[in-house]
């Protein structure tokens, strides 16, 4: 059943469009079954932090990794812990509040659980990887005391604060503000900042380092890819229902937003790689970020900006859904069985 065919035709009932103000509670008839399918798929993919063994990682940090590589890890985990908290905040205050479809809110509820799980994962990483309490406190307070992380957080706030102040979105201007907020989180935070961070982990994995971090990151990668897919599906749905919102001004703002995100993530790379990590250069990271940015622009229906190629062979393993992770601890596509079926066209 295609997502497009399940949607109501444009103009069929404007009062029940996805960004219509209000709080629809009616699941029957289901207007957006694709969101419900995404919710069910997310429920099947369940993991816990307790499944991850960090013992080998601790040995690698003490015996096999250079000070520059340990700096990379500390910066990386500090950003992750901060980034997922920012995403969770936006989910509750903006997305859950203004995406007016109960099946979409079911997915967002599941996403919020997954973001909390990711935060637990990075909390556990920091507690294990950074035994010095002062350095650990600095990592947890990354927004305040790590400039490369603070700049990214300030960028996020620019696209959230105005939407957070809205009790409801009705006028086209308010809807455009919400869509820019959603685009920022889908294309720039989850779709670019996080993907840049994943590249560092998979670089270390390609060298046989930190299997616990690699295993957990594969599951986080799968979750974040699904979160991004949901957000882009929301954008596509709104574009079908209210195409006037996606005008040249929107395209220009999105292009500028993604270009700024590339610059900020490149500055973060300068910090992460400041000690000189053998086998990974700043120019390669910049090229990879531009490659990912082009992918996000195309997903938004916009032309690529950089025409960049993926410089990292190890990132060809991005599709962790279908792969056993590198250390063969577990299949990354592990799913918990869910019983029962659903009939999308049923009525009460």
107 classed as catalytic: no
- Predicted local distance difference test score (pLDDT) of residue 26: 77
- Residue 222's closest CA among 79, 111, 72, 137? 111
CA atoms within 13 A on the CB side of 333: 7
Cβ(303)–Cβ(297) below 8 Å: yes
Spans of all domains in the chain: 54-322
CATH code for residues 54-322: 1.10.620.20
- Predicted local distance difference test score (pLDDT) of residue 14: 59
Active-site residue, from 32, 36, 107, 122: 122
- Predicted local distance difference test score (pLDDT) of residue 337: 39
Dihedral of CA atoms 322, 328, 332, 336 in degrees, nearest 10, equals 120
> Which pair of structure tokens corresponds to residue 173?
């201007």
Q: Is 324 helix (H, G, I), strand (E, B) or coil?
A: strand
Low-confidence ranges of the chain (pLDDT < 70): 1-15, 317-348
Q: State how far the Cα of 279 lies from the Cα of 276, in Å rounded to an integer.
A: 9
Helix axis angle for 67-90 and 194-206, nearest 10°, is 150
Q: Could you tell me how far CA 156 lies from the centroid of its own chain? A: 13
Q: State how far the Cα of 80 lies from the Cα of 284, in Å rounded to an integer.
A: 21
**Paired strand residues for 267:** none
Q: State how far the Cα of 346 lies from the Cα of 30, in Å rounded to an integer.
A: 8
- Predicted local distance difference test score (pLDDT) of residue 109: 95
- Predicted local distance difference test score (pLDDT) of residue 234: 96
Size (the chain), residues:
348
- Predicted local distance difference test score (pLDDT) of residue 328: 37
pTM: 0.85
Q: State how far the Cα of 94 lies from the Cα of 88, in Å rounded to an integer.
A: 10
């Amino acid at each position: 059943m295609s997502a497009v065919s399940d949607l109501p035709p444009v103009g069929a009932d404007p009062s029940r469009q996805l960004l219509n103000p209000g709080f629809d509670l009616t699941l029957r008839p289901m207007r957006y079954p694709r969101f419900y399918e995404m919710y069910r798929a997310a429920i099947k993919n369940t993991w816990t932090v307790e499944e991850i063994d960090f013992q080998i990682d601790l040995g690698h940090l003490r015996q096999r990794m250079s000070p520059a590589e340990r700096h990379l890890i500390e910066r990386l985990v500090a950003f992750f812990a901060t980034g997922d908290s920012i995403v969770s905040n936006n989910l509750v205050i903006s997305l859950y509040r203004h995406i007016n479809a109960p099946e979409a809110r079911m997915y967002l509820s599941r996403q919020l659980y997954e973001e909390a799980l990711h935060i637990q994962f990075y909390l556990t990483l920091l507690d294990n990887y950074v035994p010095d309490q002062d350095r650990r406190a600095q990592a947890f307070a990354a927004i305040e005391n790590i400039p490369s992380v603070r700049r990214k957080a300030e960028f996020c706030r620019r696209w959230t604060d105005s939407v957070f102040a809205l009790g409801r979105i009705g006028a086209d201007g308010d809807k455009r503000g919400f869509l820019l907020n959603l685009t920022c989180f889908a294309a720039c935070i989850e779709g670019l900042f996080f993907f840049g961070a994943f590249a560092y982990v998979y670089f270390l994995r390609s060298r046989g380092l930190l299997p616990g971090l690699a295993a957990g990151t594969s599951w986080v990668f799968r979750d974040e890819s699904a979160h991004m897919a949901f957000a882009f599906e929301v954008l596509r749905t709104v574009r079908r229902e209210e195409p006037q919102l996606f005008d040249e001004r929107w395209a220009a703002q999105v292009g500028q937003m993604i270009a700024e995100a590339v610059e900020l993530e490149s500055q973060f790379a300068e910090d992460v790689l400041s000690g000189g990590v053998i086998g990974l250069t700043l120019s390669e990271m910049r090229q990879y970020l531009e490659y990912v940015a082009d992918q996000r622009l195309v997903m938004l229906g916009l032309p690529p900006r950089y025409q960049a190629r993926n410089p990292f062979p190890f990132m060809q393993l991005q599709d962790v859904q279908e792969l056993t992770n590198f250390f063969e601890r577990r299949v990354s596509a592990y799913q918990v069985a869910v019983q029962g079926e659903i009939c999308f066209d049923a009525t009460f």
